Amino acid sequence: MSLVETVANWLAPIDYETLAPEALIAQVLADADGAPICLTSSFQTEDMVVLHLLRQQFPTVPVIFLETGYHFPELLAYRDRLTAEWNLNLINAMPLLSLEEHEGQYGKLHIVQPTNCCQMRKVEPLMRSLEHYDWWFTGLRREQSPTRANLKKVEDHTTPTGKKMKKVSILADWTMAQVNAYAEEHQIPRLELYDRGYTSIGCEPCTAIPAAGADPRSGRWGGNKLECGIHTFSHKS
């Protein structure tokens, strides 16, 4: 290889798509160079695998959980258990209105206008929380849904406020079998709701057990939509 080719290789941008999760985390931490980083977590298996991997290199990573007020009690108990056992730097992102205030003004909005409910109790709190960070780790995977099929491992995003950040999905190319195998190998406790047949777990009133062989997210919102909006609100560059 000539000197020119060697220098060109040194200067070439990193191809994040070629990196395995551990290497991608290391590269992102290097590229962030001290810039604030967070992980959003619903405490489902994908997120727990990302968290397990991320904590090996960044033990105090802020973990943002969207506390909608409608979660399964089992999920909240699991969150609290893992937060204590793993000594997590947990941030519960809260909506502007308490659940009582919300239902007092809007009634059962999750039934009549679920998108608006998600906007108020998920999207808006997330946007506020992300204002403090420049790099955002997620547990998204391409296999999860048709809406995520073209997901890149690292994407440029701009929120409606104009905040620019990098969104990182280290498991983008993993299958659910790989996720489960990693969780089992590393003895990550299993959320009991999976054993009851749930495959994608959100707010309790809007989550059902999907039909056999159906899209894993088809049990969300009565099958009327696949996304709450937290991964579609920002502009993908």
pLDDT tier, 216 (very low <50, low <70, confident <90, very high otherwise): low
CATH code that applies to domain 17-236: 3.40.50.620
- Angstrom CA distances, 19 to 4, 26, 71, 171, 228, stand at 25, 10, 34, 10, 29
Annotated domain spans of the chain:
17-236
> Average pLDDT of 20-49?
97
- The model's pLDDT over 55-89, given as tens digits with 9 standing for 90+, comes to 999 999 999 999 999 999 999 999 999 999 999 99
- Angstrom CA distances, 179 to 69, 75, 128, 183, stand at 28, 19, 30, 6
112: three-class secondary structure by DSSP:
helix
Residue 5 pLDDT greater than 70, yes or no: no
Strand order in the sheet with 154-158: 89-93, 62-66, 37-40, 135-138, 164-169, 154-158, 235-236
Predicted confidence at residue 232, as pLDDT, reads 47
Predicted confidence at residue 8, as pLDDT, reads 41
List residues with catalytic annotation: 228
More confident residue, 130 or 8: 130
Predicted confidence at residue 220, as pLDDT, reads 56
pLDDT tier, 196 (very low <50, low <70, confident <90, very high otherwise): very high
**pTM, entire model:** 0.84
Predicted confidence at residue 219, as pLDDT, reads 53
Closest CA to 130 of 169, 159, 100: 159
- The model's pLDDT over 80-125, given as tens digits with 9 standing for 90+, comes to 999 999 999 999 999 999 999 999 999 999 888 888 999 999 999 9
Predicted confidence at residue 144, as pLDDT, reads 77
pLDDT tier, 199 (very low <50, low <70, confident <90, very high otherwise): confident
Predicted confidence at residue 221, as pLDDT, reads 52
Closest CA to 61 of 69, 52, 71, 70: 52
